[in-house]
């Protein structure tokens, strides 16, 4: 179990992250949201962002201390 946690942490660190409205997302997910909404993610309200995430099945990233 400890090895799984370590691998998950390493993988999470390799993912390019972006913060929008206090929500951490992978860059690839931000690109999907922008394509779906047809506007930059920074222009979306938090409600629009959350609705797009739900529609596309995107989960926010869990950030660790490292």
Domain assignment present for residue 62? The answer is no
Domain count of the chain? 1
Domain assignment present for residue 26? The answer is yes
Domain interval for residue 14: 2-56
3-state secondary structure of 35: helix
pTM equals 0.70
Q: What percent of the chain has pLDDT over 70?
A: 71
User: What is the per-residue pLDDT for 61?
Assistant: 83
Q: In terms of Cα–Cα distance, which of 25, 12, 14 is closest to 56? A: 25
Calpha distance 33→50 (Å, rounded): 10
Domain assignment present for residue 64? The answer is no
Question: Is the confidence at residue 37, as pLDDT, over 90?
Answer: yes
Domain assignment present for residue 61? The answer is no
């Amino acid at each position: 179990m400890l090895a799984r946690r370590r691998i998950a942490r390493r993988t999470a660190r390799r993912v390019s992250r972006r913060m929008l409205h206090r929500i951490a997302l992978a860059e690839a997910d931000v690109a999907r949201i922008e394509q779906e909404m047809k506007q930059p993610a920074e222009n979306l309200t938090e409600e629009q962002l959350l609705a797009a995430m739900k529609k596309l099945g995107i989960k926010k990233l869990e950030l660790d201390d490292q």
